[in-house]
Structure 1
Amino acid sequence: MAEVVSSVAPLVDESRQLKLLIDHVCDHAIYLLDPQGRICSWNRGGERVNGYTAAEAIGQHVSIFYSAEDQRLGLPQQTLDAARSQGRLVGEGWRVRRNGEQYRASIVIEAVREQGQLVGFVKVTQDITERYQAQRLLQDAQRARQHLQRFEGVGRLTRGLAHEFNNLLTTVGNALDLIALRPGADARTLDLVELAQAAADRGSLLTRQLLAFSADQTLVREPVGVPQMLDQALPSLQRACPPRVQLHLDVPATLPPIATDGVQLHSAVLNLVLNGCEAMPQGGTVTITARLEQRLAPDLAHPTHRRYVAIAVTDEGAGMPPDIAERASEPFFTTKEIGKGSGLGLSQVFGFVSQCDGFVDVQTAPGRGTTVRLLLPAIEEVDHA
């Protein structure tokens, strides 16, 4: 039998070896840029990561992979300038594929010099979106767990104080009722009784808020359809807002139900809406959204993904600096003037959501408004044992 001779040339040519090596790296985009940042050549991984064919990409400036906002800010040129001055730049950021989809990219840019002169750049890009999102989920879960642990001890103390305080208020209220019923009470006495009763009622409200924070209030948990609940609540929520503030509702109708107390959930959303209104004294829009999210449960010893319905209330106010945002859910912490608020609003929301096996996520920054998200487990994830 005659020996079959392969027509494929052996791998002896170094340039061919290098081309095959680079072309067969499919999970990294590797491309060569000229000193101005135009693409001279790239591998197959470049097409897979960025979505452009070689014919579409070669000759284009590297800025085509950046968002319009990053281009406006001059980020592509700043990146090249840093690589030119430092010789090598390592970093990550958001990039844009040909179809407009954003992805998280890990990048390495090496300045290429010959005899001291810059002749171009070698850039390597890897799509790390899945890893980035997993890290963010883990960080969010860890942060939520820290909040739960931080307030566990405070909640126990608050629970005991609230019950004792409630017993005292009950005694005071009963005494005031008896005084008001006495036939010989004059108008001045009745006025003082009314003032004292108003103070006792205010104390009762604070007690309920303390119990809500300490997760010791009684919840009537039942299946609640978030889209239907928010749609029905919208008129009353709008009436609670000043005339200069408009509510916008963006909730898909396909969300799964959650197991919670509908009255308390309405109260929590109203609380957040009113906070949003206070953050915009000149008026604006408060947006209420709800989405289904896959998150790591922060209350479990071993990280486990659960499906949450995330109800978010977003305002267009001044936002909060990090030190204020970190303390926003602490009981009695408030930035308002004395007498303008108890500081229990957000902590009450936090306690209610914690009692429903969920958690609260606050996203804010100075000049960028505030978003408070209530993450409540979808009903198929609730333990009915």
Structure 2
Amino acid sequence: MTMIAPNPPGSWLRSWVRALTPPAEAAIATMSKAVSDRTGPFSPGPLHVCASVPAYPTKTGSNLHLPSCSRSAPVGRHGRFALNLPSCLRSDSVLRKVNTLEPKTVGDQFALLVSSVVDYAIFMLDPTGKIVTWNDGAQRIKGYTADEVIGRHFSLFYPPEEARSRKPDWELEVAKREGHYTEEGWRLRKDGTRFWASVVITALRDQTGRLRGFGKVTRDLTERHEQEEARNAARDREEARLRAHADRMAELERTKAQFLNLASHELRGPLTLIRGYNSMLQDGSIPAGQVPAVARLLETKLAHVDLLVEQMLETARLEHDAFDLFRQRFDLGDVVQEQLDIFRPLSPDHQFMLDDDGTPLIVEGDRARIATIIANLFDNAIKYSPAGGEIWCTTRNQGSQISVIVRDQGLGIAAEHMPRLFTRFGRLPTEENVTIHGTGLGLFLCKEIATRHGGDITAKSEPGAGSEFTLILPTAP
């Protein structure tokens, strides 16, 4: 049963017969007049409308069949009447035809305009959300023909998760309540691909306020959306770069402050001692028998200052990307022996033990900087073994790599401090080592130098049981 509103009675038929040629219009006019004649008060009696023309040509050249019919409906002056239309006059079939008609009225011209627009999908829904009209733009954007979508619920254009959550129905409820609903979001084409859509849904009501359906306009904005996403991504990258740069500058400022504080602290001690003993040597206040011992002490302090200055310079080179490596082939065993010869007389309280199987330890790299690694490992072993004891150095050629292991019997390191061990200024503040000098740069530099040679440094330790550091470098090709 098709519900038709008056205003005036019979005008609904004229809106459909524009597709017909004059003979067919005359036949339909018979039906229209019969409806128009029933303008009296409501009567429950039947209204008979008959048309018995078998077929009429339309303006498009096809035949429109109007089989003989007899239908009844209650009609009132201010009421509505109900009329069962033949299938040829129902909206699906007629609206598909109307898009091809020669425009004669403003209404026809508007229908032709809507039909011809290809940049916008413009179609109508019934009050339940089923599609009742379709234009060329809708077919181009969504990929469906009119025959494929008319009568189906418009949720087929939504991603599955939104369809399951009944978002399309919610949008209609908003449009019904507010008059319209707008959004941008992902929609689906017939082939399953996604496109970014600008959507406007408008509630359509007649003069009595009754909801007759919804108008829906969709535009494919995928290209614009992708451009916006690209701009946003570029902006985010630039903001991230600027934040990283700002963080880097702040970190450099903190590093500089730490650097200066440590430098002044670490240099002040040995320089004060050197200055004092030098003054005593000049005025002859040191007995002749103690001069050799004082000389050894001064040599130790000068070595400490030299190591400290070298650590600071190397850190500065790293900060400014000026850390160039002078590569050459050499035997790492010779470097280990040289450093042992330097440190043995500087620390008579420690026994240095070398475990060397005599295998050549040929590597390729910056000899001076790798010597700095060995020196730092020996220096730490001495500093963190204040009670003396043995310091073992084990060297091994393992084929593709060479290892140097330095093990002491000192204070050891708690597990919670291990992650900070190789960080810049990563000194471990404990009650046991609070009086031990150091910048916290030594192991950081060792790690950096080893990494830049394709190697690594690892550590194992237990509190009170000493520490073991292992330098690994690739064997020279």
TM-score range, shorter chain: 0.3 to 0.5
Normalization by structure 2: what TM-score?
0.38
When Rg is computed on C-alpha atoms for both structures, the one with the higher figure is: 2
* TM-score after normalising by structure 1: 0.46
